[in-house]
């Protein structure tokens, strides 16, 4: 703990313990407690490092007139201080501990009714109970009874905290012998503990010395859970809900024999609660049963009680509850074949009834009748169908023995359901009037349509479903052409189409009629009056271009855009038209789609056409004049994609491609680095980084990424030195970078007001410095070894970012001269002509050496500043303590007009 903090802490304690002293910002106490918790986790004893805390706790606990927030803070602090056995003993011997957690003391003061006092009492006890002495204190003080009462407290926060505390007590009472006899390895034990987050602090396992007292605690808690589980009236359902949450937590983490005892005590009550048929408790009940089932799966002999409970749950008479239970079971990882098959049948039954496709060979008449009756209610029907569709893909992932029908039949049912949603009853095989009544409930339901389309997307990877591709495409085109389709439904339809194209790569089954229909609907939707639809359409065109498919029986590989829409001749005009869209999201999506569409021609090194030139001019116009940042960001990413494809291509790019790309990149760097949007500037630096990598990859000193992450004595792999360090090559590449505007973009970013921009620019400049003028050589050695490199210059204009760079260089030059004048050993060549030019540049545009600029900017020091968080000064315990003192001072002087603002710690 810092000495400055220790010196301030006594004054803070005096302020908090003063009668009537209330802080205007109660969160300061939470932050102070967080700091104490961090100190304790680091292994420091609070009582040893801060002796004033004992006096503080003692004075506060005797002064019940203090603000309840300070009293609650003191309760939690007491538990934190007593987290070690030595500190616990000190508190107990001073009689502080008994008074702090004495309920009668708080009740007589009239403070127990305040929820923050109750929750402070619970959390203080829970934090403290990390060793046997604290557990013994809990048992001897008979805190179990009030804790059980708080478990059903009217405050949800208090009830939840009491739940966690009860679980902590039970798990603490587990004997070490029971842990060893359970046969669970250490890795499994650790996993079990971490999942429930029982304790905020981790300490060695508690060794139980007197099992009799602790067994009484376990029995009392179990008996209370058993009696309180079944509500006597509906108003007590919240109590049952809290107990079920506690049971789920306990059954997931307890071990033998406590696990068996808990299950034995509550099994009958759980049966009774199941029979009562409370729909609100279906999912909490499933959590309890599945927690027991998950633990039971590790046992050699299956517990029949767990199996019976699960079977009972999967045979509930209420159809809506039954579907919720089956879905909850399938969402869990470990399944047994019997209940998995049963859950799958339950979830497929509504689809079987509505579509009439006989997904299930046999179904109990009573179950089917009750399901039909429930589905006749429109609200229940939509809700149940959506649950079934959401979990249908999970069914196809189960073992083949559990599937009541093949996946292709499930896809057929989903397609039939989608037709019914659009009012097409021709595909329904159901002839009964009741089933048709049910089908009418889902007509026009966008909620069901979205769930069905999501299920169709997930089912695309199931085995044997490729044969349904023509039917899927036909249906999706119909949805896209439907004027009543919701924009979100259209978006899901586009996603489904792309997904099926990517999975079913053989498009030989797609007919010309399919292609013609898709062309028409894409053209139509690109001009839709709803911008969301236009955005989804151009996004679809781009994604389709990124999907590789087999177009003919001759196994000709192309992208899906070529196979379905004819390629660039169709998509490019649509996307160019979308560049003029009034909505910025659409313009940005169109630019991204253009990059995806043209990516294949870039990678193949195809000759550029007049259309490519026009597109580039359009994009540069967007970067210069578009008022929204979305489109401008997309433009820079477009050129990043183009340059990346050129860099990844093995053969040299065509001359025409380079003649168009590189001048365009220079314009992008110039305009992007001057943009007002910080994300545009960051993307511009990404483009500059690509050029750096292309120029110096393999050169000595060049490492892509963050240069500060490499230790100076680290062994550098030989693969990083694939090229010989030729000074002429470095000079040529550096000159090119200057001409393209890379160096100017990096220097501009270095002094940018947005921290992410400046941070990235600083790291890239350090990377460049390590290649052209590494600091490791020293000033004189670098000058001798890099004489030619030092002659490469760049311009520093007299305004904007360049003015800031010139000021920095001038300051460096003056500091060097001042150091020389007082006799210090300073190498004035470090500043060189760059500093001298900057100091006397006047209104001209000086040309300075790139190498000298890189060596004179103190990039390492600047990186250190930039990597700190923006609140590194205020975000500290010392600042927090100062804030508490200042805020309290302002509170004690109400005549003061100045507002005190507490730092956001």
Predicted local distance difference test score (pLDDT) of residue 823: 42
Quote the pLDDT of residue 847: 83
Domain containing 82: what range? 1-137
**Residue 43: inside a domain:** yes
Residue 238 domain-assigned (yes or no)? no
Contact call for residues 565 and 515 (beta carbons, < 8 A): yes
In this prediction, residue 148 carries a pLDDT of: 85
Q: How confident is the model at residue 508 (pLDDT cuts 50, 70, 90)?
A: confident
In a domain, 442, yes or no: no
pLDDT in tens, 345-399: 999 999 999 988 888 877 777 888 899 999 999 999 999 999 999 999 888 888 8
Phi (first) and psi of residue 726, to 5 degrees: -100, 120
Please give the average per-residue pLDDT across 480-490, as a whole number. Answer: 94
Instruction: Using pLDDT thresholds of 50, 70 and 90, give the confidence band for residue 701.
Output: low
Contact status, residue 120 vs residue 76, Cβ threshold 8 Å:
yes
Could you tell me which residue, 657 or 625, shows the higher pLDDT? 625
Q: Is residue 54 part of a domain?
A: yes
Q: How confident is the model at residue 712 (pLDDT cuts 50, 70, 90)?
A: very low
DSSP type of residue 184: -
Residue 793, SS3 per DSSP: strand
Residue 709 confidence (pLDDT): 45
Question: Which tops the pLDDT comparison, 841 or 38?
Answer: 38
Q: Pick the most confident of 188-197, 506-515, 736-745, 768-777.
A: 736-745
Residue 261 has pLDDT above 90, yes or no: no
Flag the least confident range among 175-189, 248-262, 549-563: 175-189
Has residue 199 been placed in a domain?
Answer: no
pLDDT band at 326 (very low <50, low <70, confident <90, very high): very high
Highest mean pLDDT among 134-138, 494-498, 769-773: 494-498
DSSP 797: -
Structure token digits, residue 800: 């904007």
Burial of 166-184, coded b for 16+ CB within 10 Å and e otherwise, reads bbbbbbbbbbeebeeebeb
pLDDT score, position 506: 79
Residue 706 has pLDDT above 60, yes or no: no
Give the separation between CA 331 and CA 637, rounded to whole angstroms.
Answer: 39
Q: Which residue has the higher pLDDT, 493 or 775?
A: 493
Residue pair 891/22 in contact (Cβ under 8 Å)? The answer is: yes
Does residue 771 form part of some domain? no
Give residues with Cβ within 8 angstroms of 427, minimum separation 6.
355, 415, 416, 419, 420
Residue 417 lies in a domain: no
Q: Per this entry, what is the length of the chain?
A: 905
pLDDT at 333: 67
Cα-only R_g, the chain = 36
Q: Is the pLDDT of residue 155 over 80?
A: yes
pLDDT band at 255 (very low <50, low <70, confident <90, very high): confident
Q: What is the pLDDT of residue 552?
A: 57
CB 442 within 8 A of CB 420: yes
Q: Which of the four pLDDT bands, split at 50, 70 and 90, describes residue 873?
A: low
Over residues 614-642, the mean pLDDT reads: 95
Please classify residue 275 by burial: count the beta carbons closer than 10 Å to its beta carbon, then call 0-12 exposed, 13-18 middle and 19+ buried: exposed
In a domain, 100, yes or no: yes
pTM of the model: 0.81
Tens-digit pLDDT profile for residues 48-64 = 888 899 999 999 999 88
Q: What is the pLDDT of residues 409-421, one digit of tens each?
A: 999 999 999 999 9
pLDDT at 839 over 60: no
List, for residues 509-536, the tens digit of each pLDDT value: 889 999 999 999 999 999 999 999 999 9
pLDDT surpasses 60 at 609: yes
d(Cα 310, Cα 830) in Å, to the nearest integer? Answer: 78
How many CA atoms within 13 Å lie on the side-chain side of 739?
Answer: 9
pLDDT in tens, 641-694: 999 987 665 555 555 566 788 889 999 999 999 999 999 999 999 999 999 998
What is the Cα–Cα distance from 581 to 587, expressed in whole angstroms?
Answer: 6
Q: In angstroms, rounded to a whole number, what is the distance separating the alpha carbons of residues 774 and 854? A: 9
Measured CA to CA, the distance from residue 865 to residue 885 in angstroms comes to 29
pLDDT of residue 492: 97
Above 90 in pLDDT, residue 761? yes
% of the chain with per-residue pLDDT over 90: 39
Domain count, the chain: 1
State mean pLDDT over 534-548: 93
Greater model confidence, 845 or 495? 495
CA distance 809 to 842: 14
For residue 275 the two structure tokens come to 């029979």
Number of H helices, E strands in the chain: 46, 4
Residue 78 confidence class, pLDDT cut points 50, 70, 90: very high
Question: How deeply is 97 buried, as exposed, middle or buried, from its count of CB atoms within 10 A (0-12, 13-18, 19+)?
Answer: buried
Average pLDDT over residues 754-765: 94
Q: Is the pLDDT of residue 180 over 50?
A: no
């Amino acid at each position: 703990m810092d000495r400055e903090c220790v010196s301030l802490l006594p004054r803070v304690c005096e302020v908090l313990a003063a009668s009537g002293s209330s802080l205007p910002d109660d969160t300061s106490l939470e932050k102070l407690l967080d700091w104490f918790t961090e100190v304790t986790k680091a292994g420091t004893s609070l009582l040893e490092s801060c002796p004033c805390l004992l006096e503080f706790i003692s004075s506060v606990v005797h002064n019940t007139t203090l603000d309840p927030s300070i009293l609650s803070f003191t309760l939690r602090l007491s538990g934190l201080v007593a987290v070690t056995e030595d500190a616990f003993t000190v508190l107990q011997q001073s009689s502080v501990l008994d008074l702090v957690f004495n309920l009668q003391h708080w009740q007589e003061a009239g403070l127990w009714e305040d929820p923050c006092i109750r929750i402070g009492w619970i959390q203080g006890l829970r934090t403290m109970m990390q060793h046997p002495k604290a557990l013994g204190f809990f048992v001897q003080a008979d805190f179990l009874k009030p804790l059980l009462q708080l478990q059903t407290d009217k405050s949800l926060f208090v009830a939840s905290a009491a739940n966690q505390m009860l679980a902590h007590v039970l798990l603490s009472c587990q004997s070490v012998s029971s842990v060893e006899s359970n046969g669970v390895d250490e890795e499994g034990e650790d996993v079990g503990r971490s999942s429930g987050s029982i304790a905020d602090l981790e300490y060695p396992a508690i060794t139980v010395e007197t099992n009799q007292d602790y067994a009484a605690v376990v029995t009392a808690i179990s008996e209370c859970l058993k009696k309180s589980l079944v509500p006597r009236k509906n108003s007590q359902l919240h109590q049952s809900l809290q107990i079920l949450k506690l049971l789920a937590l306990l059954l997931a983490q307890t071990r033998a024999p406590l696990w068996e005892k808990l299950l034995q005590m509550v099994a009958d009550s759980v049966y009774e609660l199941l029979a009562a048929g409370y729909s609100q408790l279906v999912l909490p009940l499933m959590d309890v049963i599945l927690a027991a089932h998950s633990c039971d799966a590790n046992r050699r002999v299956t517990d029949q009680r767990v199996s019976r409970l699960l079977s009972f749950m999967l045979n509930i008479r209420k159809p809506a509850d039954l579907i919720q239970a089956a879905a909850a079971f399938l969402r869990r990882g470990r399944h047994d074949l019997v209940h998995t098959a049963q859950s799958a049948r339950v979830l497929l039954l509504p689809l079987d009834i509505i579509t009439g496709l006989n997904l299930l060979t046999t179904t109990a008449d009573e179950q089917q009748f009750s399901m039909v009756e429930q589905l006749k209610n429109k609200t229940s029907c939509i809700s149940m169908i959506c649950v079934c569709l959401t979990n249908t893909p999970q069914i196809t992932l189960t073992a083949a023995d559990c599937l009541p029908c093949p996946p292709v039949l499930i896809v057929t049912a989903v397609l039939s359901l989608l037709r019914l949603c659009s009012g097409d009853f021709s595909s329904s095989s159901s002839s009964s009037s009741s089933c048709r009544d049910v089908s009418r409930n889902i007509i026009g339901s966008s909620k069901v349509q979205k769930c069905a389309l999501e299920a169709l997307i997930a089912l695309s990877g199931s085995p044997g479903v490729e044969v349904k591709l023509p039917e899927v495409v036909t249906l999706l085109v119909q949805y896209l052409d439907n004027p009543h389709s919701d924009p979100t439904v259209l978006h899901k339809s586009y996603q489904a189409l792309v997904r099926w194209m990517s999975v079913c790569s053989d498009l030989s089954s797609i007919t010309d009629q399919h292609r013609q229909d898709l062309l028409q609907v894409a053209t139509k939707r690109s001009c839709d009056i709803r911008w969301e639809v236009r955005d989804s359409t151009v996004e679809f065109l781009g994604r389709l271009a990124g999907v590789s498919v087999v177009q003919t029986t001759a196994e000709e590989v192309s992208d899906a855009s070529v196979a379905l829409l004819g390629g660039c001749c169709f998509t490019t005009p649509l996307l160019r038209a979308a560049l003029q869209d009034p909505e910025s999201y659409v313009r940005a999506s169109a630019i991204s789609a253009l990059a995806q569409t043209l990516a294949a021609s870039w990678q193949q090194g195809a000759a550029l056409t007049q259309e490519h030139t026009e597109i580039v001019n359009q994009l540069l116009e967007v970067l210069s004049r578009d008022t929204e940042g979305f489109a401008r960001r997309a433009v820079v990413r477009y050129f990043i994609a183009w340059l990346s494809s050129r860099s990844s291509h093995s053969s040299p790019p065509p001359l025409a491609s380079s003649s168009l790309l590189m001048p365009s990149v220079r314009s992008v760097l110039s305009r992007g680095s001057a943009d007002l949007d910080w994300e545009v500037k960051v993307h511009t630096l990404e483009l500059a980084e690509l050029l750096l990598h292309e120029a110096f990859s393999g050169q000595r000193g060049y490492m892509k990424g963050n240069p500060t992450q490499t230790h100076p004595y680290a062994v550098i792999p030989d693969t990083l030195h694939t090229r010989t360090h030729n000074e002429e090559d470095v000079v040529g590449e550096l000159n090119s970078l200057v001409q393209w505007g890379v160096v100017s973009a990096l220097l501009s970013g270095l002094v940018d007001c947005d921290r992410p921009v400046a941070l990235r620019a600083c790291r890239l400049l350090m990377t460049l410095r390590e290649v052209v003028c590494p600091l490791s050589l020293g000033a004189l050695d670098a000058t001798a070894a890099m004489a030619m490199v030092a002659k490469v210059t760049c311009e520093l204009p007299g305004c904007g970012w360049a003015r800031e760079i010139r000021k920095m260089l001038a300051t460096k030059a003056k500091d060097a001269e001042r150091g020389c004048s007082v006799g210090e050993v300073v190498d004035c060549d470090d500043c060189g002509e760059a500093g001298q030019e900057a100091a006397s540049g006047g209104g001209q545009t000086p040309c300075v050496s790139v190498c000298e600029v890189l060596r004179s900017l103190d990039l390492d020091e600047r990186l250190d500043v930039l990597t700190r968080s923006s609140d590194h000064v205020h975000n500290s315990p010392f600042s927090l303590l100062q804030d508490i003192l200042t805020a309290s001072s302002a509170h004690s002087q109400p005549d003061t007009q100045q507002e005190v603002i507490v730092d956001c710690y």
